[in-house]
Structure 1
Amino acid sequence: MAQRSIFITGGGSGIGRAAALHFAARGWFVGVADINEAGMAETLGAIAGEAKWAGRLDVRDRARWDSALAEFAAAAGGRIDALVNNAGIGTGGSLSELDPEEIDRCLDINLKGVLYGAQAVYPYLQKTGPGSALVNIASAAGIAGSAGMSVYCATKFGVRAVSESLDAEWVGDGITVASVCPGFIETPLLNGTGNRKSNEAIRERVKAAGLEITPVERVAEAIWDAVHGTKLDYFVGPTAKRMAFAKRWMPGKVRKQLRNSLRPLGQ
C-alpha cells in the first residue's frame, strides 16, 4: 500500500508543527508550508527519516498554492491524501480601532487562504478519494461572536461555513471535509496582542478570565480523528466544548453572557 501523505500549512510552529509530528509518528509522509522558514526547519528536524518536505507558502498567493502542492506531490510519490488548512493570524479589539490593513490581512489569511487551499488541493484529493480529507482549522471564535473579536470571528465562522459547504459539495468524490475548533491552545498566538493599538498580551487576558489553556497535542489528535472520521465539527478543549453545547441548547443565555462581557472569548 502506498504511503499516505498530508500537507499542512502553518507548519513552522504551534498546531501545524504538532500535527506534522503526530502524523509523521504514524507513518505518513508529511509536508509543511509556512512563511517561517526557520520554524519549518525546526519542524522537519524533529521528524526522523526522509518522509518529509517543506516549502515556503504565503496562503494569500493563489499561484504559489499550485506550485507548492505540485512540488509536495512529486516528493510524496505523486499523491496527496489530506490537507490541513491551519495557517492563520489573530486580530482583536474594537472594530472602530482596527486599521483597514489589519482587517484585510486577517480576512485574506484566515479565510481566503482556506478557500485557495481547498480549491488548489481538490484535484489531488479527488484522485486519492475515497478516504482523502480536507481539515480546516476554525476556532471557538467560530462558535459564538464575542465582543472585540468581530473580524477574527468572521473568519472562523466563515471557515466553518466553507467546511460545511464542501462537505456537501465533495461527498460524491469520497472526500472527508471537517473543521477543528480549538479553544485556547498553548501556541505562540497567545503571546501576541489583539491589535497594533493594544499592548495587552492575549495570554494575560485568558488567565485573567480564569480560562484553561489546552495542550497543542490535543488539537493534533483532533486533526487525526477528523482525517479518519465522519463528523463535520471537532471541538477541542473545555472552552470550545462548553461553548458549542451552550450555543446549541441555550442560545439566549449565551447571547446575554456575551453582551455583558467586556473581554473577548476565542482561540
Structure 2
Amino acid sequence: MSDRKAIFITGGGSGIGRAVARYFGERGWFVGLGDIDKAGMRETEEMIGHGFTYSHVFDVRDRAAWDEALEAFSVAAGGRIDVLFNNAGIPLGGSLLENSTEEIERCLDINLKGVLFGAQAAHPYLKKTAPGSCLLNTASAAGIYGTPGASVYSATKFGVRAMTESLDGEWAEDGIKVHSLMPSFIDTPLLDHNPNARSNEGIRQRVQEAGLEITPAEEVAAAAWAAVHGERLHTVVGKTAKRIAFGARWMPGRVRKQTRESFRPLGQ
C-alpha cells in the first residue's frame, strides 16, 4: 500500500469539491475526482497537478458505478482510500407546490440516495485504512433547521445528517470516522442556478436580498481538513449556519417565528 494518503471527492469538478481537492492536494494527498462534468474535473486537475490526481466520470445515482469508480481510484492511489468526501449535490428551491415530480426525484436521488450509495461502496476501503479513515458527508445549514422555500433540499440534508449520526455509531467498531460539514451559503456556481424550473430569479439574488453572507469555498475546504483530522461529528461552516445552529438549540421559538416571516413565494 502506498504511503501517500488518498481522498476521493464527488462533485470534484467545481465549487466545494474543487476547493477541497486543491486544499488536500496542496498538502500532499493523492486526490480522486468523481463527477459527471469531465471538463470541470480536468480544470481541477490542472490546478492541482496531474501527477497527484485521478478523475472518474460517473453518476452518484448509479450504485454499480460507485464500485467501479472506487476500485479504479484505489488502484491508482496505490491500494488505499483514506477519505471519501460524499459531496455531490444539487439545489432545489421554491415551495413544495412549485416543485415538479422530476425535480423532487432528482434532488432526492442525487443528494440522499447518492450519499447512501457512496457510503456503502466506500466502507471496505475505509475499513482497510482504519483507524483514522473518514467518511465525510456534505450536509448543510438546511439540515439544522428546515428552510422555507427549500423543503425537498432541506429533507435531503436532514437525511445526510441522520445518516452521518447513524453510521458514526455503526462504523465506530471498524475505526472509521463519520463526520459531516454543515455550510451555509457558499460562493460556488450552484448559487447562480435558478432554484427551480419555474423561477427566473437566481439563488444568489435571493441570498443577497435577504442580507445573508456568502462564505468563500476555501473556508469550507479548511473546515473539511479539520473535520477529517478531528473528532467533531458535525462541523458548522459560515456565519449564517452558526447563527441557525445557535438559535435552533437555544431559541427555537424565535427561529421558528423568523423562519415563518422570512418566506417569500417566488415572484414576490
Q: TM-score range by the shorter chain?
A: over 0.9
Instruction: Give aligned-pair identity as a percent.
Output: 64
Aligned counterparts, 1:32-181, within 5 A: 32-48=33-49, 50-181=51-182
> What one-letter code is carried by the residue in structure 2 that aligns with 1:222?
A
Deviations 1:118-155 (A, max 9, x none): 00000000110000000000111111112111100000
Aligned partners of 2:262 and 2:13: how far apart in 1? 34
Q: Aligned pair 1:20/2:28, yes or no? A: no
In structure 2, the residue corresponding to 1:7 is in which secondary structure? strand
SS of equivalent to 1:168: helix
Does 2:209 match 1:208? Answer: yes
**Per-residue deviation, 1:262:** 1.7
For normalisation by structure 1, the TM-score amounts to 0.97
Deviation at residue 263 of structure 1 after TM alignment = 4.1
SS in 1 for 2:61: coil
**Matching residue of 2:232:** 231
Q: Which amino acid aligns with 1:262?
A: F
| 2:257 is aligned with 1:256 | yes
Superposed displacement of residue 57, structure 1: 1.4
Question: Which stretches of structure 1, 4 residues or longer, exceed 6 Å deviation after superposition?
Answer: none
> Runs of 5+ in structure 1 lacking a partner?
none
What secondary structure, in the 3-state scheme, does the structure 2 residue paired with 1:46 have?
Answer: helix
Distance (whole Å) between structure 1 residues aligned to residue 261 and residue 24 of structure 2: 42
- Matches of 2:209 and 2:123, distance apart in 1: 43
1:247 corresponds to: 248
| Secondary structure of 2:48's aligned partner | coil
Gaps of 5+ in 2: none
- Partners of 1:62 and 1:226 lie apart in 2 by 26
The AA in structure 2 aligned to 1:56 is V
Aligned to 1:195: 196
| Distance of 1:180 and 1:167 partners within structure 2 | 14
RMSD between superposed Cα atoms in Å: 1.0
CA distance in 1, matches of 2:264, 2:53: 41
Aligned residues: 264
138-147 or 58-67, which deviates more: 138-147
The separation in 2 between residues aligned to 1:262 and 1:110, in whole angstroms, is 23
TM-score (norm 2): 0.97
Q: Give 1:259's aligned amino acid.
A: R
Q: Could you tell me which residue of structure 1 aligns to residue 10 of structure 2?
A: 9
CA pair 62-49 structure 1, distance change in 2 beyond 3 A: closer
Q: CA deviation at 1:108?
A: 0.2
Q: 2:85 and 2:34 mapped to 1: Cα distance?
A: 10
Residue identity opposite 1:30 in structure 2: V
Pairwise CA distance, 1:256? 1.1
**Counterpart Cα distance in 2 of 1:146 and 1:255:** 10
